[in-house]
Structure 1
Amino acid sequence: MSTTTKFVTTRQPQVVYLERGDVYENNEDAYDYQDDRLSTHRTVNSVSDLELVRTQDFHRQPSKGKNQSSFYTSFNGLFIAGGILLVLVIIIVTSSILGIVLTRNPTVLNNSTTTTTATTVYSAYWSFDNDANDLYETYNGTLVNGATFSSSTYFGYGYNLALNDSSYQSVTITSPFFNLSYTSFTVEAWIYGVALTGDRSIFSQCQCSSCQSQCLYLIIRNYKMYMGFMLNDLVGATSLSTNTWYHVAYVYDYSRRTQSIYLQGVLDGTKTSASPYQGQNGSINIGISNLSSSSFYGYIDNLKLTTRAKSSSEILTDASVVVYFPFDGSSLTQDMGPNQMNGSISNAVAVIGKVGNGLAFSGLSSYLQVYGFYQLGRSSQSFSFALWIYPYSVAGGTLIHKSAFQYNSSGWCQDMMGLTYAGQIAFYTNGGGRQITGPFISALQWAHIVYTYSFTNGQIMYINGVQYAATGSMSFSSSGIIDWLTIGHNIIGCTPSPIYGGAFFGIIDEFYVFRRELSATDVYSLANP
């Protein structure tokens, strides 16, 4: 019976059992035995014939035959491969766990930062409709030093925050902490400044008022918009006027390290290579900042905050779309624009429209009414109307009627868009008798109509995305108050020639009102949904 001998390698301790008559080989060192001389194989006949070999690849072979790989080599290779696979799995799992555990807040080492990007978007919205609460019921505020609310709003609805700098009035949100560090964010608001000298704060949050990038202040500084993180600031190009409503937006894009400010929806200043705001604590203050002894003096309304960088097109929409009625909302009267100025209807019904549903008008008491048009009530201020129409009849009819009062014809009023008795589209603005008479409109066919105005370009008529006519530069007079619009009828009269006013019989869809003059590119996009 053969004797089994225990063998241990020197490089990597492992045990291999050999029997007499077996041979072993060294694959690494290139030694060569012949009989008792150096060879790749050596017969094992006794314990004395064993020697330690430096290789970890030890092959067991029968003494009478050619070399073949043994079970031990296969097992060793599988063990190594398994170890490598285990290490890779550990690396992948560890990376995934770290990605979940880490937040956007960085670790600061020697003035350098490492961070991950936040995936959750947090938002707050203070409408100031007679309270300082967040509409999402999370970041509720407290009035400070007698701050109050006023009904003198831009749209004529609800209330806004009224602040007086003589008392250093503000709203403060202390809990929970709203983390704006190392992330993108956008702050938007409507403001009306009675005084704009010095620093007039709109929004601030400060951890350290003397530390770079640790104090956030969004203000008006000497009539210009100003965005500061402390020694990391941006100033706008345009001087604001007192006693004027403005839409303002402050944007920080963390991924691009860019600060941007927008006035009336238009980019007014930008700064690249702007390091992020780094404040890790501090209350939100609306109307004051730690860097000024003066508060905002005037009105602040509809302040919105979100932890993402809104695009320029989003901000332009927020600033310039007054109403948008697609007639596809939860109700036919729902304004799907940024201001939610819902209307009221009389004897109008939903039908298939150009895009989704449309609103069908079919009688003397059939109309849509909406209130809240501040811009239209100001003389020579820019505006645009856009809508699709599908006339059942083209023998006259009012499409858009503007008035100072809902039903009282003794106030200021006029038809602004309608059909002539012969079936032509016509525009009118109370500016020296100027009007535009356009092409004939076909019954039972969709047509896209856009009416734009600016003092520089006057009235421009677009039909199906193409400019048809323009008046050139002109001014117009208006009511001086917040106006009403009646769509589909002129229920209180005031019809100027050449419009043949009265009930419109047909469908209207995708109705927009803007507080700016649309460009030809804008018009083309609306006409090709």
Structure 2
Amino acid sequence: MVAHACQTIVACASLMYGQDPFVKHVSILIYDKDCKYFFLILNTAVRILWTFDNTLDDFYGIFPAVGSNGPTYKSPGINGYGSCLYLNASASQSIDVLSPPFLSMAYTSFSLSAWIKATTLNNAAVNGLSDNGIFGQYEQNSQDLSLHTIVRNQRLYFGFYGDDTQGNQLLVSDTWYHVAYVYDYSTLTQNVYVDGVLDGSNSPRGPYKGTVGNMTIGTNEVFFPYNYWNGCLDQISYFSRVKNATEVLYDATLTVAYSFNNTLLDDGPMGINGTGINFAYTASGRISTGLTLLTTVSYVQAGGLVLLGTSTRPYSMSIWINPTVITSGNIIHVAPTTTSISWSVPMLGFINTGNLGAQGCSPSGSVSLTGPVVPTGIWTHVAITYGNSNGLRLWINGTQFGASSSAYNYTAPGVPVTVTLGASLSSAGPCSSGVIATGQYHGSLDEFQLHSRELSSTDIWNLANP
């Protein structure tokens, strides 16, 4: 460390940032003559996350933000338990992330992502305006000096100013999307992703060269002030490296992942931790520690699941089971988080003949599949997948069992739902009955995952063969 009259402050700053696992280091420190304030340029944070759970500050407390014109919060956010940042474009609401500290994204790789749900979207053909701002950093509106990640004419748009990439998918209002903007400095490539799928790519682009300027959320300086976001923004994240396609897909579609390694903490990106009663951990799990359900009222839950509660959305569930009883029992049950709505589906469980059963919900009622008889006292991998075209499918030990159902549109309550593992705590609505003999599951469970996409046969095989 260079000797300085403000050495105590330098030491504190280095300790604060150097020990944070999400920050590499501080590259420049500048003090005023009274040694009271310092300006720093981070040689970039490994991760910054704005959760917007009733706060504008980032999760790690390094990049505090201030609201402009009274932005508010709206519940639920994408992860069900928190809130989203709710912006009213007509009131010119946005967020400023002020310097210091300055986040340097010049001449480097980075990945920006967010969950978005617009109340309305500008489209020049409709209302004469084109842009909907998500994130920006502005030095000046000259080539490679104005970073803007936006939706332009209802498509993703990744710009450095005059050096840009547009996506292809037409986005619509009142729909949650995961969007990602990834820049690879080594190849000068801009990539944009919608719901984990590559939507546009261009090279050579950039590099971005901005070295000053505040960050903005919900607007930017390109076409300002006609580019305000209208609706929800949530879980805005920055990484100081390229995220590959697999990582982006994971961020966009892995809703819950419980390993049950002596904890109900979520191993996925959403942070939807589990709760439960009357359960224990067993050292004899399929992969390390597992979960054992002990009594007639024994279960684990994941609540506030927004996408699973949305009609026509694809989904997949994967779990290891080791039952002691196979003539009845609900393995995976889904019902609204709020009990005032009459809707529920026993999605995976046992039929009274000892066979596994899988169920879905269509506009005409329950959709059912009958699976094989599975052994007691042995671990079996089971997965169910749903997609609009392929319908409901059941997978045993990595292989599809039997035929798919007919194609149908998944019907959900339109509110966040709760997955209950091991029990069926409610039974209401047209999809609450079917082939599964509902009731308490007896035995052990391990490695539960919920995805907001239809997993491929390769995905299922890999989960069944860890």
TM-score, normalising length from structure 1?
0.75
Deviation, structure 1 residue 120:
6.2
Q: Among 434, 456, 459, which residue is 1:519 paired with?
A: 456
The one-letter code of the counterpart of 1:333 is L
Separation (CA, whole Å) in 2 of partners of 1:359 and 1:306: 34
2-structure distance, mates of 1:123, 1:332:
25
Aligned residues of 2:44 and 2:105 also touching (Cα < 8 A):
no
Answer yes or no: is 1:194 the counterpart of 2:119: yes
Corresponding position: 1:133 with 2:57: yes
Show CA shifts across 1:367-409 (max 9, x none): 0112122222222321111000011121211001111246x48
Shift of 1:154: 2.5
How far residue 443 of structure 1 moved from its aligned partner, in angstroms, is: 0.5
- Following superposition, the deviation at residue 131 of structure 1 comes to 1.4
| 3-state SS in 2 of match to 1:449 | strand
**1:162-212 deviation per Cα after TM superposition (whole angstroms, max 9, x unaligned):** 111122211111221110000011111111112211111100001111x21
Which structure is higher in RCO with an 8 Å CA cutoff and minimum separation 6? 2
8 Å Cα contact 2:358-2:368 kept in structure 1: yes
The answer for the alignment partner of 1:484 in structure 2 is: 418
1:472 and 2:406 matched: yes
Say if 1:255 and 1:376 are closer, same or farther in 2 by CA, change over 3 A: same
User: 1:316 aligns to what SS in structure 2?
Assistant: helix
Q: Is the 8 A contact 1:367 1:489 kept in 2?
A: yes
**Which residue pairs with 1:286 in the alignment?**
217
Structure 1 position 528 matched with structure 2 position 460: no
Cα distance in 2 for partners of 1:306, 1:476 equals 35
The question of whether the paired residues in 2 share the 8 Å contact of 1:409 and 1:492 is answered with no
The SS at the match of 2:168 is: strand
Tell me what 1:206 maps to: 138
Amino acid in the other structure paired with 1:498: V
In the alignment, is the contact (CA less than 8 A) between 1:405 and 1:411 conserved in 2?
no
Structure 2 residue corresponding to 1:394, chosen from 317, 326, 347: 326
Query: 2:440 corresponds to which residue?
Result: 503
Q: C-alpha displacement at 1:318, in angstroms?
A: 0.7
Moved more, 376-385 or 182-191: 376-385
Instruction: Write out per-residue CA displacement over residues 248-287 of structure 1, whole angstroms, 9 at most, x where no aligned residue.
Output: 1000011121100000111100112222100011100001
Counterpart pick for 2:361 among 405, 430, 438: 430
Structure 1: runs of 5+ lacking an equivalent: 1-102, 105-117
In structure 2, give the amino acid aligned to 1:359: L
Report the AA paired with residue 452 of structure 2.
Answer: R
Structure 1 residues 34-83: Cα deviation after superposition (integer angstroms, max 9, x where no partner): xxxxxxxxxxxxxxxxxxxxxxxxxxxxxxxxxxxxxxxxxxxxxxxxxx
What secondary structure does 2:437 align onto? coil
Contact 1:362 1:504 in 2 (8 A): no
Which moves more between the two structures, 179-188 or 357-366? 357-366
Is 1:409–1:493's contact at 8 Å kept on the other side of the alignment? no
Deviations 1:435-473 (A, max 9, x none): 100111000111111100011100011110011131131
Distance 1:380 1:122, change over 3 A: closer
TM-align CA RMSD:
1.8
Correspondence for 1:22: none
Residue 398 of structure 1 contacts residue 489 of structure 1 at CA under 8 Å; is this kept in 2? yes
Q: Quick check: 2:304–2:337 contact (8 Å CA) kept in 1?
A: no
Q: Residue type of the partner of 1:473?
A: A
Contact 2:382 2:394 in 1 (8 A): yes
Contact 1:155 1:482 in 2 (8 A): no
Per-residue deviation, residues 458-515 of structure 1 (Å, max 9, x unmatched): 0011110011131131223221211111110012245523211111111111100111
Match of 1:245 among 176, 184, 187: 176
Query: In 2, are the aligned partners of 1:425 and 1:441 still within 8 Å (CA)?
Result: yes
Q: Is the 8 A contact 1:121 1:308 kept in 2?
A: no
Question: Whole-Å Cα distance in 2 between the matches of residues 370 and 360 of structure 1?
Answer: 17
- How do 1:320-399 and structure 2 match up within 5 A? 320-328=253-261, 332-351=263-282, 352-399=284-331
SS of equivalent residue, structure 2 residue 234? strand
Q: In the alignment, is the contact (CA less than 8 A) between 2:343 and 2:427 conserved in 1?
A: no
Alpha-carbon shift at residue 123 of structure 1 (Å)? 2.3
- Hey, what's the Cα distance between the residues in 1 that align with 2:317 and 2:267? 16
Residue in structure 2 matched with residue 420 of structure 1 by the alignment: 351
The residue identity in structure 1 corresponding to 2:107 is Y
Name the SS of the counterpart of 1:337 in structure 2.
Answer: coil
1:314 pairs with 2:247: yes
Q: Which amino acid aligns with 2:173?
A: T
1:23-42 matched pairs, under 5 angstroms: none
1:449 matched to 2:382? The reply is yes
Alignment correspondent of 2:391:
458
- Structure 2 CA distance, aligned partners of 1:123 and 1:367? 35
Q: Distance in 1 between matches of 2:112 and 2:102?
A: 16
Distance 2:219 2:384 in 1: 41
- Cα distance in 1 for partners of 2:219, 2:44 equals 28
SS at match of 2:119: strand
SS class of match (2:103): coil
Who is 1:182 aligned against?
Answer: 107
Most deviating of 148-157 and 454-463: 148-157
Amino acid at match of 2:111: T
Q: Structure 1 residues 347 and 164 mapped into 2: Cα distance closer, same or farther (>3 Å)?
A: same
What is the CA–CA distance in structure 2 between the aligned matches of 1:378 and 1:178, rounded to whole Å? 37
Matched residues in 1 for 2:247 and 2:354: separation?
A: 37
Distance 1:269 1:397, change over 3 A: same
Q: How does 1:37-186 map to 2 (within 5 A)?
A: 121-175=45-99, 176-186=101-111
Task: Give me the TM-score of the superposition, normalised by structure 2.
Answer: 0.85
Return the alpha-carbon distance in structure 2 between the equivalents of residues 498 and 166 of structure 1.
Answer: 51
